[in-house]
Amino acid sequence: MQVARTIREVRAWMKLARADGKTVGFVPTMGYFHEGHLNLMRRAKAECDLCVVSLFVNPTQFGPAEDFQRYPRDFARDASMAESAGVDLLFAPEVEEMYPEGYQTYVDVAGVTRRLEGAARPGHFRGVATVCAKLFNIVQADRVYFGKKDYQQLKVIQRMVRDLNIPVEIVPCETVREPDGLAMSSRNVYLKPVERQAATVLYRALCAGRDAILAGERDGQKVQQIVEQIIATEPLVKTEYVDVADAESLEPLKELKGEVLISLAARVGVARLIDNLTVVVSE
Ligand code: AMP
């Protein structure tokens, strides 16, 4: 595995890969790898000749009161995990390489950023779309792999790629969970043992919402209440939002039909966790 610190190195590496006729899969990340990240890397490697991973804690997607400074970082550990997953190139730039002095250009995706994380974290998706547009232009991969764990992010990037005609295929990948259902996240390291145990309520609550829909519930508000009530049984978990929406537009649904997204954000100790499930409603 090669490590690149500069955009120039990535471009030179990609030029050789293209000259060799290789297809390239790309996985953008903020590092502190877990099985969710490794799953994306292995899938990219299985479906493309070469796998490129970026490791960049992107300052523009964090709000002023958020955890940019203390976001977990361990380059040596990440590099060895990426290498074991078969990654060919690890691009780990400094902030100045991505946002040099005088940087002024941002990508704003409208509609699909309006609610959920877009409403809870103003400016977040502007940072995400901007860094992804830059990374897509730097790497110029054939395919880019994203986890459904960050479902709205996936929708934002799909929208941006369509709207800006970026020539890359987006590959959505299933959420990887711990054996007890907790969605894997770099932020799970913030959890104390009792909080880690309490956080399992999130997936149980999502499953109860899904099961209610599968059992015939078609009132979005009722499903939302079922999920909220289960989370409320766990005093260490503070719900920020529970939402039931159309899985494509992310707009709220009164009467459930088509593919439905149940999503949530909650505080557990100092950690802010998000999770979601999608359900296809039968006619
Ligand atoms: P991050 O490093 O948290 O920005 O995540 C990088 C990529 O990994 C994004 O596409 C995430 O959606 C994806 N990802 C993070 N956690 C998981 C998970 N538990 N399962 C699947 N994909 C994940």
Helix (H, G, I), strand (E, B) or coil at 18: helix
For residue 133, pLDDT over 90 is answered with: yes
The residue nearest atom 13 of ligand 1, judged by CA position, is 147
Fold annotation for 2-173: Rossmann fold (3.40.50)
Indicate the DSSP class of residue 57.
-
Using CA atoms, how far apart are residues 238 and 34, in angstroms rounded to an integer?
A: 25
Average pLDDT in the chain: 98
| Ligand 1 atom closest to Cα of residue 148 | 12
- What are the backbone dihedrals phi and psi of residue 278, each rounded to the nearest 5 degrees, phi first? -110, 150
Average pLDDT over residues 187-206: 98
Average pLDDT over residues 192-208: 98
| Ligand 1 atom closest to Cα of residue 183 | 19
Is the CB of residue 222 less than 8 Å from the CB of residue 208? no
> Which residues approach ligand 1 with their CB closer than 6 A?
29-30, 36-37, 40, 146-147, 149-150, 173, 175-176, 183-186
Q: Where in the chain is the domain with CATH 3.40.50.620?
A: 2-173
> What is the separation of C-alpha 59 from the centre of its chain, rounded to a whole number of angstroms?
16
Q: Where in the chain is the domain with CATH 3.30.1300.10?
A: 186-275
Average pLDDT over residues 231-260: 97
Percent of the chain at pLDDT exceeding 90: 99
What's residue 282's pLDDT?
86
What's residue 114's pLDDT?
97
How does pLDDT run across 27-41, given as a tens digit for each residue? 999 999 999 999 999
Helix (H, G, I), strand (E, B) or coil at 186: helix
CA angle 136, 138, 141 (to 5 degrees): 50
CA of 88 from ligand 1 middle (Å) equals 19
Fold annotation for 186-275: Pantoate--beta-alanine Ligase; Chain: A,domain 2 (3.30.1300)
Residue whose CB lies within 8 A of the most ligand 1 atoms, among 90, 135, 149, 263, for a mutation test: 149
Average pLDDT over residues 251-271: 97
Active site residues: 37
Using CA atoms, how far apart are residues 130 and 248, in angstroms rounded to an integer?
A: 21
> What is the separation of C-alpha 231 from the centre of its chain, rounded to a whole number of angstroms?
22
Using CA atoms, how far apart are residues 242 and 262, in angstroms rounded to an integer?
A: 7
What's residue 69's pLDDT?
97
Q: With bands split at pLDDT 50, 70 and 90, how would you rate the model's confidence at 254?
A: confident
Q: How many CA atoms lie within 13 A of 24 on its CB side?
A: 26
Indicate the DSSP class of residue 21.
T
| Ligand 1 atom closest to Cα of residue 146 | 10
CA of 59 from ligand 1 middle (Å) equals 17
CA of 149 from ligand 1 middle (Å) equals 6
Using CA atoms, how far apart are residues 96 and 111, in angstroms rounded to an integer?
A: 31
How does pLDDT run across 48-72, given as a tens digit for each residue? 999 999 999 999 999 999 999 999 9
- What are the backbone dihedrals phi and psi of residue 253, each rounded to the nearest 5 degrees, phi first? -120, 125
The residue nearest atom 14 of ligand 1, judged by CA position, is 147
Helix (H, G, I), strand (E, B) or coil at 281: coil
- pTM beyond cutoff 0.85: yes
CA of 33 from ligand 1 middle (Å) equals 9
Q: What residues contact 187, with CB distance under 8 A and at least 6 apart?
A: 67, 72, 271, 272, 273
For residue 267, pLDDT over 90 is answered with: yes
Strand order in the sheet with 24-29: 2-4, 89-91, 50-55, 24-29, 143-147, 169-173
